[in-house]
Structure 1
Amino acid sequence: MGMNRDLKRALDESYRVVVFTGAGISTESGIPDFRSPTGLWKKYAPIQFQDFMASADMRIEAWRRKFAMDETMAKAEPNKGHMAVSKLVDEGKVSHVITQNVDGLHQLSGVPAEKVIELHGNSTYAICLDCGLRHELAEVRVIFETSGEAPSCRECAGVVKTATISFGQAMPEDEMERAQEATLCADLFLAIGSSLQVFPAAGFPILAKRNGARLVIINREPTDLDEIADLVINDEIGPTLSAVTMLN
């Protein structure tokens, strides 16, 4: 309980907390961590962005995988970890949630969309890479399953892709800027469920610490940044956050 007490004290003493989340917060909702030793990326190499753009066959394979994976993703509900973060946002304690996740579970748990900064995009809808028009997955799936072809934009006939950031695709500039601004305003940076190995995302906790914020890391396994953290909790995320936010 000592660690939880220290976490509660850190939260109580802070005025502007930024929460940063990785795959570990969503595994308790049944969403697999693709980077894990048993993860999907060990079975299938991720499709690189340049290959997606260059090859119609690669686009078809990307959509086939997407809809196969959605059978798992669609059943996922926010868990106690998401709900605890949502409560801290609701109370005004947390200013922003920066996430590496693409599952939309923070928004589903009640965090206002404008307070969620998605570094790796969002897998719950698609966009045209040429004109930026949003496409709903249900309509894309009908086109894909009836034609067998990768969908193109109904407005400009451009390439349509899930609104996630793929390997080799540029990080979203607006989101990176917003994440940096939020981090520099934080007095407590709470990194949850991330191995903190993937850059540039893992640069934010380092930036927070250098800027004078406290750094707290909650993750089941040790991370690369444990040595610079003020507090490290290696435990289950949902139960840990529920206990300190008094979430029943």
Structure 2
Amino acid sequence: MTSEATTTDLRAFTEQWLDWYRGQEARLAAPHGFLAITGLHWLDDRPKRFPDAPGAWHTGPDGVVVTLDDTEELVVDGTTVRGEHRFGVLPERGGVDAIWKDAVIEVAKRGGHDIVRPRHPDAPLLTAFTGTPAYAPHPRWAVTGRYVPFDEPRPTTVGAAVEGLEHVYDAPGRIEFELDGRPLSLTAFPGHVPGGLTVLFTDATSGVTTYAANRTLSVGAPAADGSVVLDFNRATNLPCAYTDLATCPLPPAENRLPVAIEAGQKIPRERGGS
């Protein structure tokens, strides 16, 4: 029989997970989030116009340039620009958001290539979005592991959702943990908060109930003894799970777990999930 304390703990755990889940969904469904993307345009040295962005765009050794005609303008860093505007050389995984009417024109570099990726709040994928299916949360999927730093960060090349594209990340270490008594480990990449970590992985549910190519998990900064919590209830889809207009990284080979992680987000409805 489940004790009252256990029931209370599970209720609190579920409520905390729901807060996280709602935040994830809100960011995804934002007017200029990933579901708002209408095109993924690869730039080269030949000026090109696109149906979902103003101007003619090209790139070269000096970076991205847009040439706007007399009726067009963008707002970049709060300043209205007309005619020719130079975005300069962008850092890998960096970018600039330029405002055009009610849209945002993302100018970025991914896998060494400059791209333009417009985001429109009336994009069909966004307006039809009804939420992401997920497993019911359970504490058994919140696993304590141990972070083992490498002697020095290891440059790790991984594939991407776009064929022929590669990403390179400096992996600072790996996380060792057990699941149902089975020893496992995941190579970790730097996280989005100071000291935090990110892991990309697949598992035995991938392509069955969860997205085939990848899921991602944010991990807090390791404690003084190296301990970390892997809460797989918060395993998240990357944008490529929803749209082909994303350049998401794939997990390194060693992060393909041979167990079923029946936790976290499932295959999006946009990809046939239920």
The TM-score bracket by the shorter chain reads under 0.3
Which structure is richer in relative contact order (CA contacts within 8 A, separation 6 or more)?
A: 1
TM-score scaled by length of structure 2: 0.24
TM-score scaled by length of structure 1: 0.26
Larger Rg: 2
Q: Which has the higher strand share?
A: 2
Q: Which has the higher helix share?
A: 1
